[in-house]
């Protein structure tokens, strides 16, 4: 455990009062502490405003989609809060099957970039794809007056521990899961995996961490603020990201970013919230800004929690090479050769990992 030990991470398996975490029941109590830290100090809390949520199917194609082998459904989800509302489209591609199918709920970049997702191949492997366009939910900038941000912050102002954009996008993923549960019996709502790339990989991790209905999460090149450890990290560090993208996080995160070694958390807190569910972390070997080694070591740091809960994770000393399949169990890691993007190979390896979890 040489490399990991040098990172001096805050412990996962010790309660705030110093008591060691030895059982699954102890972990539930520790998990609540960790959830509260990640929520308040990293992504931020949504103010408790009463919102109405509705979902409608606006288009259905049972005949032509994927040569008739899949159903295309377009939903529209609407959130209404004190007279204001915002809506987003949900694109669902569901392979025809005699039983409800598992699904990836992808927070994506929308429009033409959906074309990068191997939608037909995902269907052939037995998964539905539920895709959103993140900018329809709220803009990717410091404006907190429009879209979902405008509903949550009527005066556009946020407090220290209030939700940033990642938390708003993640909340929209959770509300989309509500709509899928209610409207699409062809999808097995107990087997929905939150997925995303880069800033939306961070978003997918937080969605699944904060909502245990998600079967698991697949983060791709999520890097700083996602699956990469901040302590001892390379590439983008909290000081960079909180300066370049302060709106993504709670304002408190920017304060912590000034002294990484003193942070009461590191990113293994975020990943640990997934345990013992299925979590697949994907990196790319030339994506140094997202720190592939920091992502691998973060998985290794979380492994004792998976083991405590009877699952397998990633051994820090396991030999690691590019595109080496099968590293890990319920918690798995894959490093693709190449740069920062979400490729077909990334999807294939993620599906390999979830196939095993679903078969169990």
Q: What is the 3-state secondary structure (H, E, C) of the chain?
A: CHHHHCCCCCCCCECCCCCECCCHHHHHHHHHHHHHHHHHHHHCECCCCCCEEEEEEEEEECCCHHHHCEEEEEEEEEEEECCEEEEEEEEEEEECCCCCEEEEEEEEECHHHHHHCCHHHHHHCCCEEEEEEHHHHCCCCCCCCCHHHHHHCCCCCCCCCECCHHHHHHHHHHHHHHHHHHHCCCEEEEEEEEEEECHHHHHHHHHHHHCCCCCEEEEECCCECCCECCCCCCCCCHHHHHHHCHHHCCHHHHHHCCCHHHCCCCHHHHHHCCCCCEEEEEEECCCHHHCHHHHHHHHHHHHHHHHHCCCCCCCCCCCCCCCCCCEECCEEEEEECCCCCCCHHHHHHHHHHHHHHHHC
Q: How far is the CB of 342 from ligand GTR (least distance, A)?
A: 10
* Member of 224, 270, 301, 308 binding ligand GTR (CB under 6 A): 224
Q: What is the distance between the alpha carbons of residues 153 and 160, in angstroms, rounded to a whole number?
A: 13
**Least distance from ligand GTR to the Cβ atom of residue 134, Å:** 10
Comparison of 203 and 210: residue with beta carbon closer to ligand GTR: 203
Name the minimum Å distance from CB 337 to ligand GTR.
19
- Asked whether position 223 contacts ligand GTR by CB under 6 A, the answer is yes
User: Encoding tokens for residue 289?
Assistant: 């800004």
Within 286-315, the residues that bind ligand GTR by CB under 6 A are: none
Residue 188 near ligand GTR by CB under 6 A:
no
Q: How far is the CB of 253 from ligand GTR (least distance, A)?
A: 13
Q: Residue 236 interacts with ligand GTR (CB under 6 A)?
A: yes
Nearest to ligand GTR of 5, 244 (CB atom): 244
219 part of the interface to ligand GTR, by CB under 6 A: no
Query: Cβ of residue 139: shortest distance to ligand GTR, in angstroms?
Result: 14
Q: For the segment 198-217, give every residue that binds ligand GTR (CB under 6 A).
A: 198-199
Q: Is the CB of 192 or the CB of 241 nearer to ligand GTR?
A: 241
Q: Rule CB under 6 A: is residue 193 a binding residue for ligand GTR? A: no
Q: CA-CA distance, 148 to 219, in Å (whole number)?
A: 23
- CB 224 → ligand GTR: shortest distance, Å? 5
**Interface with ligand GTR: number of residues (CB under 6 A):** 6
Smallest distance, ligand GTR to C-beta of residue 60, A: 32
Comparison of 73 and 195: residue with beta carbon closer to ligand GTR: 195
- Kindly tell me which of 108 and 276 has the beta carbon lying closer to ligand GTR: 108
Query: What gap in Å lies between CA 8 and CA 228, rounded to an integer?
Result: 14
CB of 346 to ligand GTR, least distance (A): 14
Residue nearer to ligand GTR on the CB measure, 166 or 314: 166
Residue 241 as a binder of ligand GTR (CB under 6 A): the answer is yes
Which C-beta is closer to ligand GTR: that of 44 or that of 223?
Answer: 223
Point out which residues bind ligand GTR (CB under 6 A).
198-199, 223-224, 236, 241
């Amino acid at each position: 455990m040489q490399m990991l030990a040098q990172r001096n991470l805050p412990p996962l398996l010790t309660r705030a009062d110093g008591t060691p975490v030895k059982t699954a029941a102890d972990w539930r109590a520790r998990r609540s502490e960790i959830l509260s830290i990640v929520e308040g100090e990293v992504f931020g809390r949504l103010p408790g405003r009463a919102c109405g949520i509705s979902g409608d199917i606006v288009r259905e194609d049972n005949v032509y989609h994927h040569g008739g082998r899949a159903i295309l459904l377009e939903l529209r989800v609407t959130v209404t809060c004190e007279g204001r509302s915002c809506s987003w489209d949900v694109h669902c591609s569901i392979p025809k099957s005699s039983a409800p199918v598992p699904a990836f709920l992808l927070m994506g970049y929308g429009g033409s970039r959906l074309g990068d997702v191997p939608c037909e191949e995902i269907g052939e492997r037995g998964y539905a794809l539920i895709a959103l366009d993140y900018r329809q939910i709220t803009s990717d900038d410091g404006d907190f007056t429009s879209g979902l941000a405008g509903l949550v912050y009527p005066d556009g102002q946020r407090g220290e521990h209030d939700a940033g954009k990642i938390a708003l996008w993640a909340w929209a993923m959770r509300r989309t899961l509500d709509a899928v549960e209610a409207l699409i019996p062809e999808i097995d709502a107990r087997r929905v995996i939150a997925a995303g790339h880069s800033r939306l990989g961070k978003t997918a991790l937080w969605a699944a961490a904060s909502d245990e209905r998600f079967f698991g999460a697949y983060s791709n090149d999520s890097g700083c603020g996602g699956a990469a450890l901040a302590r001892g990290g390379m590439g983008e560090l909290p000081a960079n990201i909180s300066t370049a993208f302060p709106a993504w996080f709670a304002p408190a995160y920017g304060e912590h970013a000034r002294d990484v070694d003193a942070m009461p958390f590191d990113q293994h807190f975020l990943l640990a919230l997934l345990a013992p569910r299925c979590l697949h972390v994907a990196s790319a070997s030339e994506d140094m800004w997202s720190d592939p080694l920091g992502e691998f070591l973060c998985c290794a740091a979380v492994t004792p929690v998976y083991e405590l809960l009877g699952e397998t994770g990633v051994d820090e000393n396991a030999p690691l090479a590019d595109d080496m399949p099968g590293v890990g169990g319920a918690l798995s890691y894959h490093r693709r050769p190449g740069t920062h993007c979400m490729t077909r190979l990334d999807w294939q390896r993620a599906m390999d990992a979830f196939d095993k979890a679903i078969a169990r």
